[in-house]
Amino acid sequence: MTALELIREKRDGQAHADEAIRFLVRGATDGSIPDYQLAAWLMAVRLNGMTDQETKTLTLAMADSGRRLDLSSIPGRKVDKHSTGGVGDKATLVVAPLVASAGIPVAKLSGRALGHSGGTLDKLESIPGLNVSLSIEQFIDQVRRIGIAIAGQTSDMVPADKVFYALRDATATVDSVPLIASSVMSKKLAAGADAIVLDVKCGRGAFVATLDEAEALARALVAIGTNAGRETVAYITDMEQPLGRAVGNALEVREAIETLSGHGPSDLEALSLRLADEMLRLAGAPPIDLRRLLSDGTALRKFAQLIDAQSGDSSVAREPDRLPAAPVRRPVPAGESGQVAAIDALEIGLAAKSLGAGRDRKDAAIDLAVGIVLQKKVGDAVQRGEPVATVHARTDQAAQEVASRVAAAFRVMASARPRPLLLRRVTASGTERLDT
């Protein structure tokens, strides 16, 4: 078997045998197949797709390309949560401590910002001193001690995904259902949880833009998880506009703290409660009043405990003003009166990235303080000249440049309705509509 034969096979629209897929994953991991052949194969997959069997085999081979976490020493059923990535998506910072504060262990491996979408590790690093580089032993020990840890994947986990992802990023092959599904689920399977809740983002600020694509991705993710013996539930949620109001690392941590105190934006709170509730159900816990854990400070105390355990300054949970702040704040006025009909999530994400909040290359430095805070969301009434957003920037010039971009991302019309946030719930037994 050669890589050339397999490129030709996929180019001609045929399905690979399991052994062929394992050969490609081995070759990507040990470097014996050159990047140009892997890239050609990825493009053939992007154009011709994969069968369910091929996607499953690819996922399992990728999950086995490196170290797998063994969480069995942590008592109880472990439930993981993962978002496919969006703009302003700080839900993990709310959901993880909320679920842990209900007594369910949360062992969460997270990623960094890439392109227009943010990453939980960068957000957490805006808390002074906080360390996200835990060894596997430290990570598991912390979950056993305080019920929660959030850290980066170690370099020996799912090395095949690192190779494929870097090539996909450079060859316009990210937006492929089998490639996204295998990338996400290989990491989830290697992370060792017993059950998985997925938040599949759908819209301009997501990897998949249409509901049809999001449903196909959600079904693929759920099928892979279920076949691998992990109960998996996927939510499809709206990413046409940013989630919540804050976009940018420290700004998002502040908003997560507000939400953990029961004073967050209604969309972020609703999504967090729904995902947390699903995690509790999958963990086999009896239903509890999660909203109370927000309003009485229980969830926020768990977040402070997490920060302490990872060497961060936990006083930010009480005094969010201790988070890094940008020196320049520039309001963005509405160009006309009416109701906000659309806020282009991709444009807001790219605007925040251009301020320094995100990165194009995995190793690039980012500015944790800068970003954008929306004063208006879709469906809100607005008067001409009233601020729709505030740009938090390092310099006046950066603020000025980004302000016009943010203004252009807003569309105001005579009348508009709020967008539904929760769209679908996909399980092994079918798809439920949530936006009726």
Which residues form the interface with ligand URA (CB under 6 A)?
A: 84-85, 174, 180, 183-184, 207
Q: Which structure tokens are listed for 12?
A: 């001609």
CB of 47 to ligand URA, least distance (A): 17
Our CB check for ligand URA shows the closer of 22 and 162 to be: 162
Q: How, if at all, do strands 381-382 and 231-238 pair?
A: unpaired
**Three-state DSSP state, 218:** helix
CB of 240 to ligand URA, least distance (A): 18
Residue nearest to ligand URA (CB): 183
Which amino acid makes up residue 240? E
DSSP secondary structure, 219-286, as one string = HHHHHHHHHTT-EEEEEEEE-SS-SSSEESHHHHHHHHHHHHTT-S-HHHHHHHHHHHHHHHHHTTPP
Torsion region of 356: left, alpha or beta (phi above 0 gives left; psi -120 to 50 gives alpha): left
> CA-to-CA distance for 339 and 381, rounded, in angstroms?
4
**Three-state DSSP state, 400:** helix
Our CB check for ligand URA shows the closer of 110 and 241 to be: 110
183 is catalytic: yes
156 is catalytic: no
381, containing H or E segment: strand 381-382
Taken as a whole, the chain contains a residue count of: 436
CB of 176 to ligand URA, least distance (A): 8
CB of 207 to ligand URA, least distance (A): 5
- For residue 237, the number of C-alpha atoms closer than 13 Å in the C-beta half-sphere is 28
Our CB check for ligand URA shows the closer of 239 and 369 to be: 239
161 is catalytic: yes
82 is catalytic: yes
- Please pick, among 83, 126, 182, 183, the residue that the annotation labels catalytic: 183
CB of 327 to ligand URA, least distance (A): 33
Going by the DSSP 8-state scheme, the letter that residue 377 receives in this structure is: -
CB of 168 to ligand URA, least distance (A): 7
Our CB check for ligand URA shows the closer of 119 and 248 to be: 119
392 is catalytic: no
- Please pick, among 46, 56, 81, 82, the residue that the annotation labels catalytic: 82
8 A C-beta contact, residue 323 and residue 316 = yes
- Please pick, among 46, 90, 116, 187, the residue that the annotation labels catalytic: 187
CB of 82 to ligand URA, least distance (A): 8
8 A C-beta contact, residue 251 and residue 371 = yes
Give me the residue label for tokens 């251009």: 354
- Please pick, among 16, 81, 90, 168, the residue that the annotation labels catalytic: 168
Our CB check for ligand URA shows the closer of 113 and 389 to be: 113
Our CB check for ligand URA shows the closer of 84 and 310 to be: 84
Cβ within 8 Å of residue 404, ≥6 positions away: none
- Please pick, among 64, 80, 89, 161, the residue that the annotation labels catalytic: 161
80, containing H or E segment: strand 79-83
Going by the DSSP 8-state scheme, the letter that residue 328 receives in this structure is: E
Dihedral Cα 304, 104, 200, 421, nearest 10 deg = -70
Our CB check for ligand URA shows the closer of 17 and 174 to be: 174
The residues that are catalytic are 82, 161, 168, 183, 187
